[in-house]
Chains A and B, each alone.
Chain A
Amino acid sequence: MAEELMLEIVTPEELAFSGKVEEVTVPGSEGEFGVLIGHVPLLSAVKYGELNYTQNNKKTYFAIGTGYAEVTDVKVTLLVESAVEADEIDAEEAKREKDEAEAELSKIGKDDPDFQKVSDALTRAEVKLKVAEKL
């Protein structure tokens, strides 16, 4: 490929990734979308989910938090609250977090003020687990 897409993943703690890639798949709030070079400029909300990019025909997976994706024809910038690469995820810990959140969720009702928080935690753990299994 002659031209490549620039990808940057920015979190409050660090610049998690910066480099040229061939393709990116982003978990947008309205559905997952793929980006190739020459994409229409787009600003989209991003939800907890799995992000992957292809570099030298190899896919790399990230579990990312909520935030935004800004897409221009040559560059994708992700502003997310967290980003963990698949090989850095502790699958056992994610499993434990998931179990804990599930147990908590079964105890409290939908009207509980913490419901949203706990179900978010569950989503996060599930995403982590899913991404970890991609390895």
Chain B
Amino acid sequence: MAESLRDIKRQTQAVEKTKQITRAMNMVAASKLKTAQTRMENFRPYAKKIMEVLNSLARRVNTESNPLLTVREAKKVRVILMTSDRGLCGGFNTNTIKAVEGFIKYRTGQGQEVSLITVGKKGRDYFRKKATIIDQRVDVLNNFDISLAQAIGEEVIPSFIDEEYDELYIAYNEFKNVSQQRPVITRLLPVGSVEQEKEEAEVYGDYVYEPSEEELLAQIIPMYLRVLIYRGLLETSAGEHGARMAAMDNATNNCEEMIETLTLKYNKARQAAITAELMDIVGGTEALAKG
């Protein structure tokens, strides 16, 4: 009995330590999430403005004038997959990976070739043997700014123009809230016709353009791509921390539950040991009295 008591105690202490770690991770994730969210919020006005300008320009310019707007028959498809570098964040990466896997299966079934560019370790590790990875970037999400999006943009744009591939997609987890992330796969290239908010377009009608509309468009499309890639990075980073926060919160709760059960078990075992000892003593005295 005594040994089992000690075992239970040891187990309780181990769980207690795990709980400390998960709680600390939860708090770290929470503070990182806050930073990531602030960045997302600061970025939004910029992104919105770029879209507005692009929309108004795209409507006025002949789409054949720019190779990035040209739609070709899709034979080769490329996907930028964004996942986190580290685990312990629940189903965060699994969800995106599943979505991309389904996408690859579907596209391959249609006779298209799919290749990947991965950002983050998890996606790369999963697809290393299962798909063609053109390029990978790992350990970048911890500390990044717009130049990362720019570097990715500079890599994908020339190869699209050289017809190395015909369509470009981006896959990441959209950050909805702490406990909810939704995998999204959207097309980046060719840039789709962006027709919305017709009335607003009229406001832009009388602008003087400097340089010409075509040249402006040629400059703004790469910027627009950068914006979309950067948004993907921000969402991934916020989503990762959010998911980890939720996962660690769960883990902490589970630890607490386990500690409770173990404590109860310990108390019961202790009580049983005391009862057994008492029985021994009582039995002993009774035997003496009889003699």
Contacts and interface: CB of A to CB of B under 8 A. Distances in A.
A43 interface: yes
Interface residues of A, number: 21
Contact of B42 (A13, A28, A29, A40): A13
Interface in B28-50: 39, 42-43, 45-47, 49-50
A15 B43 CA distance: 9
Interface string A75-88: 00101010000000
A78 B209 CA distance: 15
A26 to B, nearest CB: 11
Given A15-B45, A45-B216, A68-B220, A30 B53 contact: no
A11 B210 contact: no
A62 to B, nearest CB: 16
Contacts of A68: 53, 216, 220
Given A45-B216, A68-B53, A81-B146, A12 B43 contact: yes
A30 B223 contact: no
Nearest to B52: A70
A79 B53 contact: yes
Nearest to A18: B45
Given A45-B219, A79-B53, A10 B46 contact: yes
B197 interface: no
B207 A42 contact: yes
Given A12-B230, A14-B42, A45-B216, A29 B53 contact: no
Contacts of B49: 10, 70, 77, 79
Contacts of B204: 41, 43
A29 B207 contact: no
B273 to A, nearest CB: 64
A29 B216 CA distance: 10
A18 to B, nearest CB: 10
A67 B47 CA distance: 12
* Interface-centre pick from A28, A30, A79, A81 (highest chain B CB count, 10 A): A79
Contacts of B53: 43, 68, 70, 79
A15 B42 contact: yes
Contacts of B50: 79
Nearest to A117: B154
B211 A45 contact: yes
B45 A45 contact: no
B45 A10 contact: yes
A43 B223 contact: no
B206 interface: yes
Given A68-B53, A79-B53, A81-B146, A42 B46 contact: no
Contact of B210 (A15, A44, A67): A44
Interface of B: 39, 42-43, 45-47, 49-50, 53, 57, 145-146, 204, 206-211, 215-216, 219-220, 223, 227, 230
Interface of A: 10-15, 28-30, 40-45, 67-68, 70, 77, 79, 81
18 contacts: A10-B45, A11-B46, A13-B39, A15-B42, A30-B210, A42-B208, A43-B57, A43-B204, A43-B209, A44-B210, A45-B210, A45-B211, A68-B220, A70-B49, A79-B46, A79-B49, A79-B50, A81-B146
